[in-house]
Amino acid sequence: MGPLITNGIISPETDLLLAFIIGIGFGFVLESSGFSSSRKLAGVFYGYDMVVLKVFFTAGITAMTGLLFFSLFGWIDMDMVYINPTFLTSAIAGGVIMGAGFIMGGFCPGTSLCGAAIGKIDAMVFVGGLFIGVLMFTEGYPLLEGLYNAKPMGMVKISEILNVSDGVMALLFIAMASGAFWLAEWFEKRSKKVEY
Amino acid sequence: MKPRVIFTVVFFALGLIIAAVPQSRTMQYRVGADDMLEDLHGKSQFISPDEVAAFLVEDNPVIRLIDLRSPEEYQAFHLPGAVNLPMTDLLNSDYRYLVDQDMMLNVFYSNGSVKANEAWMITSQLGYRNNYVLEGGLNYWAEVIMNPERPSSTSPDEEIARYNFRMGASKALGGDAGAETAPADVEAPLPAITKRPAKKRASGGC
């Protein structure tokens, strides 16, 4: 049955509409969970609020488990699901840049738009910086092209590299998430309370 | 119990299940369920024994009979020119060239038509074309081709013509009826088997 677009069950136009609705839902949940506050987001780096880590790990393992069960029931053909190709060097470089921006600005791209939408000036500045970054990357692409395309690994999964089944990888990832939750709460208890 | 403990337990349980089951390799269905149902209703996958007999008598090189029974059964009896591909080897990659091809018109047969229908469903869902099913299988073949029932003298002409054809085919393909002489009330003892065009053009190309 799935993927719905690839199998022509929903049209690309309907897909855009669904993406729009899901996007609104995502923004709403981010805002109502307090993710439009840069202090809450920065908390994950200072150890006083680990909600961000917990939310994204939960989202990850929920989607992962759901997809694997859908595949098991034959509801989705995982071979037809698009996996972003991996470019190792640029992934590491991008991760470092994104992380640095996250610590400095207290937002990630999605939450900055959330913050800007409710009128936070720091979020608007962050969004401005985001567009400047996009412009710089686009204009500077010829200089960055080598780095951008370095070490192409194709559409790989960690489970393929480790040569284990997707299910075993999922279990490892769930164990990792649980460990991270436990560590995160231990950090939260240790660090001094910050009022924000 | 704290909600986080419940969540952890639930996720670990689900993770254990998903790690324990074999990895799902969902086959890519190229034929939708609707199309398959329509094909099944239309019985378009069937080739009648008469059609197959005609192909065999005229030595049509396009037809290939595929015997899905076990090698022992195949040794005991098989249709002329049939190749043996036991059902268990249907998806064996060594024999894929037999079922996934554009040159020949494959006719699956077994004793009845259940196995052959299964083989046809599996291969067509994999997107293989040019595969058909011998209607009624060997049992029906034996009934209508090897031992055709003699129609009464008041039967319509078509039925007598069909009987004539079956007698001739039986003789040519080594059935019981071949040993007997054609009935006296039938005008032509040996039917004229007209050359028929192949059901599907063999498509070549690179």
ipTM: 0.72
Per-residue tokens: B93? 């990659």
A167 touches chain B (CB under 8 A): yes
Q: Which residues of B touch A77 (CB under 8 A)?
A: 26, 28
Is 0.90 surpassed by the pTM of this model? no
Q: Which DSSP category does B100 fall into?
A: S
Report pLDDT for A135: 95
User: What is the spatial distance between Cα B166 and Cα A122, in angstroms, rounded to a whole number?
Assistant: 90
User: What is the spatial distance between Cα A147 and Cα B26, in angstroms, rounded to a whole number?
Assistant: 37
Check CB contact under 8 Å for B8 and A68: no
Which domains can be identified in chain B, with CATH numbers? 33-137 (3.40.250.10), 147-179 (no CATH)
Question: How close are the terminal C-alpha atoms of chain B, in Å?
Answer: 67
Check CB contact under 8 Å for B11 and A177: yes
Q: Which residues of A touch B12 (CB under 8 A)?
A: 171, 174-175, 178
Domain boundaries, chain A: 12-190
Best residue in A71, A164, A174 for a mutation probing chain B (most B CBs within 10 Å): A174
How high does pLDDT run on average in chain A? 87
Q: Which DSSP category does A2 fall into?
A: B
Reported as a single tens digit per residue, the pLDDT across A45-65 is 888 888 888 888 888 999 999
**Average pLDDT score over residue span A125-139:** 93
Task: Report yes or no: B109 and B136 within 8 Å, Cβ to Cβ.
Answer: no
B24 touches chain A (CB under 8 A): yes
Considering just the CA atoms, what is the radius of gyration of chain B in Å? 24
Residues 30-69 of A with CB under 8 A from B: 58, 61, 65, 68-69
Flag residues of chain B having pLDDT under 70: 1, 23-32, 175-206
Determine how β-strand B83-84 pairs with β-strand B46-47.
unpaired
Q: Which residues of A touch B18 (CB under 8 A)?
A: 65, 68-69, 72, 166-167, 170-171
User: What is the spatial distance between Cα A53 and Cα A19, in angstroms, rounded to a whole number?
Assistant: 24
User: What is the spatial distance between Cα A79 and Cα B144, in angstroms, rounded to a whole number?
Assistant: 47
Task: Report yes or no: B50 and B144 within 8 Å, Cβ to Cβ.
Answer: yes
Among B108, B114, B115, B111, residue whose Cα is nearest residue B134: B108
Find the CB nearest A174 among B11, B23, B26: B11
Angle, in degrees to the nearest 10, between helices A51-72 and A166-190 = 160
Look at phi and psi of residue B183 and say left if phi exceeds 0, alpha if psi is from -120 to 50, else beta: beta
B93 touches chain A (CB under 8 A): no
Q: Which residues of A touch B16 (CB under 8 A)?
A: 171
Angle, in degrees to the nearest 10, between helices B3-20 and A51-72 = 40
Check CB contact under 8 Å for A174 and B21: no
Task: Report yes or no: B47 and B113 within 8 Å, Cβ to Cβ.
Answer: no
Give yes or no for residue A156 having a pLDDT over 70.
yes
Reported as a single tens digit per residue, the pLDDT across B109-155 is 998 888 888 888 888 888 787 889 998 888 888 888 888 888 887 88
User: What is the spatial distance between Cα B95 and Cα B93, in angstroms, rounded to a whole number?
Assistant: 5
User: What is the spatial distance between Cα A34 and Cα A41, in angstroms, rounded to a whole number?
Assistant: 9
Give yes or no for residue A7 having a pLDDT over 80.
no
